[in-house]
Structure 1
Amino acid sequence: MNLDLASLTFLVVEDSAYMRTILRTMLQGFGARRIVEAEDGASGLEAMDRANPDILILDWVMPILDGADMVRMIRNPQNPFAYVPVIMVTAHTERSRILEARKLGIHELLCKPISAKALFQRVASVILHPREFVKTPSYFGPAPRAIRNRQKIWQAHPGGQGNGAAA
């Protein structure tokens, strides 16, 4: 798969300088040329105003303002960056964390240690398979995949003749 990432701006928010270097190097290897970095959520919010990113790659656990808090601030319909795709990076992959990521409005979750292949797959996913945003009293963010997949099933079977597959 060949994606042209040269015209996109990536914002990498990660407290580890080493991990920022790894992410930047991988993104550059994929052809990205505009990569802005921040070392915590507070400086990440400031960087968003300067960088106007197309994709946000965000560590979950950081000092000052963690990734989850940053996403809560961004995923507000009045925020100019509310619709930016978010790829959350974490070493904590327990089920409760994955469910929380879904509730926060994360597009993709990337587990540490990360591989170039896994990062590329997540970036490709947010570019090639954009998700519509949903607003309910308790949620604002990308439509959950289950809803998107269910819509595809119904569209593939006109007249509501679903194939019986659970989404």
Structure 2
Amino acid sequence: MAYDLGKLGFLVVEDNVPMRHLVRQMLQAFGVKRIADASEGHGAFRVLESADFDIALVDYLMAPMDGVTFTRLLRTERTSPNPYLPVIMMTGYTERERVIEARDAGVTELISKPLSARGLYHHITAVIEYPRPYVRAPGFFGPDRRRRQMSFAGPERRRGTPIKGARYPGRPDYLDV
């Protein structure tokens, strides 16, 4: 299904200027008209304090505030401008530990670099088509990390069977750990 993304606002948080311009051009090709950017997490917070956005595209590795720290603070800081903002993290670091770190910080989706327009569009539509409820638990606030439904006998849920009827076409189930 094709979406009219023209009414959505995107915040691009990327320290690499050519990559930031590339992401901006992809979004414009998708019909997005309202795009703001920042070169790292502190600047992104200033942008978020002055305007509302629908989705943030955030790089993993930036200085002085990286994407994981930005996402964690966005989700948990008392003065956060929008703790419910969907965050799509862009990264060239897809090792399991880093993916888990991003997930545990409250990232909504994760896309690996190098980016393709098709892949970026796919992750944007995943945020739209498969919204996840937000969970508040000790040490975590963010989109529900579980993509599986399961029975369990204890106070915590971990691995299980797929959610009946859920569709994640063409995506690795990288958040199921």
User: Shorter-chain-normalised TM-score: which range?
Assistant: 0.7 to 0.9
Change (3 A) 1:109 1:34: same
Higher helix share: 1
Please name the residue that 1:20 is paired with.
20
Aligned mates of 1:90, 1:68 — CA distance in 2: 11
Deviation string 1:106-159 (CA, Å, 9 cap, x unpaired) is: 11111111100110001001111110001111211101242469684399xxxx
Q: Kindly, what percent of the aligned residue pairs are identical?
A: 40
Aligned mates of 2:145, 2:21 — CA distance in 1: 31
Tell me the CA shift for residue 101 of structure 1: 1.3
Q: What is the RMSD computed on CA atoms of the aligned residues?
A: 2.3
Please name the residue that 1:153 is paired with.
164
Please name the residue that 1:83 is paired with.
84
Does the CA contact (< 8 Å) of 2:147 and 2:163 recur in 1?
Answer: no
Tell me the CA shift for residue 64 of structure 1: 1.3
Aligned mates of 1:151, 1:93 — CA distance in 2: 23
Q: What does residue range 1-167 of structure 1 map to in structure 2 within 5 Å?
A: 1-76=1-76, 78=78, 79-147=80-148, 152-153=163-164
Tell me the CA shift for residue 55 of structure 1: 0.2
Change (3 A) 1:65 1:77: closer
Aligned mates of 1:41, 1:80 — CA distance in 2: 13
Length-normalised TM-score, structure 2: 0.82
- For structure 2, which runs of at least 5 residues remain unmatched after alignment? 151-160, 167-175
Q: Which runs of 4+ in 1 moved over 3 A?
A: 147-152
Which SS does the other structure have where 1:15 is aligned?
A: coil
What is the number of equivalent residue pairs in this alignment? 157
Which SS does the other structure have where 2:6 is aligned?
A: coil
